[in-house]
Structure 1
Amino acid sequence: MEKPNQTSLLVEFILLGLSAHPKLEKMFFVLILLTYLVILLGNGVLIVVTILDSRLHTPMYFFLGNLSFLDICYTTSSVPLVLDGFLTPQKTISFSACAIQMFLSFSMAGTECVLLGMMAFDRYVAICNPLRYPVLMSRRLCCLLAGAAWVLCLLKSVTETVIAMRLPFCGHQVVSHFTCEILAVLKLACADTSISEAFLLVGAILLLPVPLAFICLSYTLILATTLRVPSAAGRRKAFSTCSAHLAVVMLFYSTVIFMYMKPKSKEARVSDEVFTVLYAVVTPMLNPIIYSLRNKEVKEAARKVWGRMQASR
């Protein structure tokens, strides 16, 4: 008799989260809820402003708008699930819902890695080659770059999710994480996961060290150019902007690299959950603040949009 597929018998997973620390669940629920609301508000305002104000229809704000939309989708794919887990004693998720959540979170994270690299290139061209900027960063090229990032990362995530979820789990269903994070789910597999891990490693190399090296090179050239600026005030402004941008980039990349390029272990670690929160929740909250809401153009555009909304009432 043919042995039944053990994966097909598994209809749901149990998300362990902070079940062992019930007192921490209430505190984390409030913190993550407030952070999620800030993410929705900050990124939502940026999207609306960049659409309604024609002066912000430039490549820089086009990429920023994409980043804001991506951050909203990224956090929405996982944060409601995390919040629900803090409130309900039965922390279960169906097999299919787990696969969908894994796919969405993974594809959004990959797209953000690529998009941050594109944004660094845009700033390099704008500052180091200002005369050629309108030609090099045409609207058509920006749309092609952003579209390619979304499509390629979606296809990559589909492949990795299908390979991971087709593994036999032999009834193992307790995921030691807040969400269906792919590494946490792979630890439950009762078969060889080397193929899935190989795909994850190749993807991590393409989406982490490569874009990060490109970002560092771009900002190094930008800083070299700003050092030649005669105005001390101009140099301070450039250094302040670049350091703020790099701080957010380093926070995002360092936590993701720690998660996906460290030696694999079958044992669940609290640090895995902490680092996931850092790159999945904290960074999307900081992005609109660091990249745009400190920007005078964005603040002026937001005031004008708000004024028009008030006048139309």
Structure 2
Amino acid sequence: MDNLTFKYSILLVEGLKIAPQSSQPTFILLLIAYVVILIFNIGIVIQISAEKSLHEPMHILFCHLPINDMMGATALVPLLLRDILTDPSMRYITYVECVFQAFFTHLYGTTSHTILMIGLTIRLSHCRSVIQNHYCDNPSLFKLSCENVVINNVYGLTFTVVLLSSSIGFIALTYLRIAMVCIKSKNKATNSKAIKTCCTHLAVYIILLVCGFTPIILHRFPEYNDSRKLASVMFHVLPPGLNPMIYGLQAKEIRQSIFKIFRNKVNTKNV
């Protein structure tokens, strides 16, 4: 088994199926999205770190969110950009690099069970050398094995159901409580602000939920392979790009601090 385990230390990544004439536009679009993600999220982190008035628990939480978003985007996008401009027959990655990428992509989405999930996968020997995906994730890794992967499938599906149910349940209870408070309150301005904030947050949550669970579900349906790949790219690009605007600029203190910087720069130029 040891010989089988390390038989394929170099793996071939299937990658995205992009027409040659679309490779450069796709590369440029994805590169712009990645740069925007880095600028927005690094800006939020620097702003919270530099402004002493923002050194509060709530804003520290805001600081952790962009760091997590940057980690999720960086785990996928740079290697994907490389592969877009690489011949499909030359998209190689080592098994160790593949495991690390899988670890960080899952750490971005679901922190609590990542180590156990990856541990269940790397215990398996692998008799195949092609990653049937555009990046390395846990399902793609255990598909390399010729052993019985029932444990991996059961654990993955069970955790997905538990995570989905608990997440939707807590969100539903939270918004139900907010709705009840708004109904009882007679302050129209407060109710309007609450509804506006909740709607934007709920929209981002739904986008994250759909983009996150779609590739997990579609892994079980090979005929929707291309749709799964697109959904997983959106999961690592769309929420990290939207979160700084939704969660960062929605926070009054952060928004005022950012506007203050821009006003100071404008005044300095005018002087």
TM-score higher than 0.5: yes
Shift of residue 167, structure 1, vs aligned partner: 2.2
Aligned to 1:35: 33
87-96 or 159-168: which moved more?
159-168
Answer whether contact 2:12 2:92 (CA < 8 A) is retained. yes
The amino acid across from 2:95 in the alignment is F
1:9-56 Cα offsets, whole Å, 9 max, x none, are 101111121245333332221221111111111111111122222332
Shift of residue 102, structure 1, vs aligned partner: 0.4
SS at match of 1:177: coil
Q: Any stretches of 5+ residues in structure 1 without a counterpart?
A: 112-152
Alignment of 1:1-313 (within 5 A): 5-19=3-17, 21-89=19-87, 90-111=90-111, 153=112, 156-170=113-127, 172-261=128-217, 264-265=220-221, 269-305=225-261, 307=264
1:87-124 Cα offsets, whole Å, 9 max, x none, are 2222111000000110111112113xxxxxxxxxxxxx
Answer whether contact 1:102 1:182 (CA < 8 A) is retained. yes
296-305 or 280-289: which moved more?
296-305
The separation in 1 between residues aligned to 2:241 and 2:171, in whole angstroms, is 20
The separation in 1 between residues aligned to 2:2 and 2:223, in whole angstroms, is 28
Misfit runs of 4+, over 3 Å: 265-268, 303-308
Q: TM-score, normalised to structure 2's length?
A: 0.87
Shift of residue 262, structure 1, vs aligned partner: 6.0
The separation in 1 between residues aligned to 2:24 and 2:183, in whole angstroms, is 49
The amino acid across from 1:235 in the alignment is N
Aligned to 1:116: none
1:114-158 Cα offsets, whole Å, 9 max, x none, are xxxxxxxxxxxxxxxxxxxxxxxxxxxxxxxxxxxxxxx2xx212
The amino acid across from 2:167 in the alignment is P
The separation in 2 between residues aligned to 1:287 and 1:58, in whole angstroms, is 19
**Identity over aligned pairs, percent:** 27
The amino acid across from 1:297 in the alignment is E
The separation in 2 between residues aligned to 1:296 and 1:206, in whole angstroms, is 34
The separation in 2 between residues aligned to 1:20 and 1:14, in whole angstroms, is 17
Q: Any stretches of 5+ residues in structure 2 without a counterpart?
A: none
The separation in 1 between residues aligned to 2:190 and 2:212, in whole angstroms, is 33
Answer whether contact 1:103 1:161 (CA < 8 A) is retained. yes
The amino acid across from 2:125 in the alignment is P
The separation in 1 between residues aligned to 2:17 and 2:217, in whole angstroms, is 27
Q: TM-score, normalised to structure 1's length?
A: 0.76
1:264-294 Cα offsets, whole Å, 9 max, x none, are 2455611110110121111111111111224
The separation in 1 between residues aligned to 2:238 and 2:23, in whole angstroms, is 18
The amino acid across from 1:245 in the alignment is H
The separation in 1 between residues aligned to 2:219 and 2:109, in whole angstroms, is 20
The amino acid across from 2:106 in the alignment is F
- Taking structure 1 as reference, are residues 29 and 180 closer, same or farther at Cα in structure 2, changes over 3 Å only? same
The separation in 2 between residues aligned to 1:51 and 1:33, in whole angstroms, is 27
1:195-235 Cα offsets, whole Å, 9 max, x none, are 11122223323433212311221122112212333232322
- Taking structure 1 as reference, are residues 266 and 186 closer, same or farther at Cα in structure 2, changes over 3 Å only? farther
Answer whether contact 2:8 2:126 (CA < 8 A) is retained. yes
SS at match of 1:191: coil
The separation in 2 between residues aligned to 1:242 and 1:214, in whole angstroms, is 14
How many residues are treated as equivalent by the alignment?
264
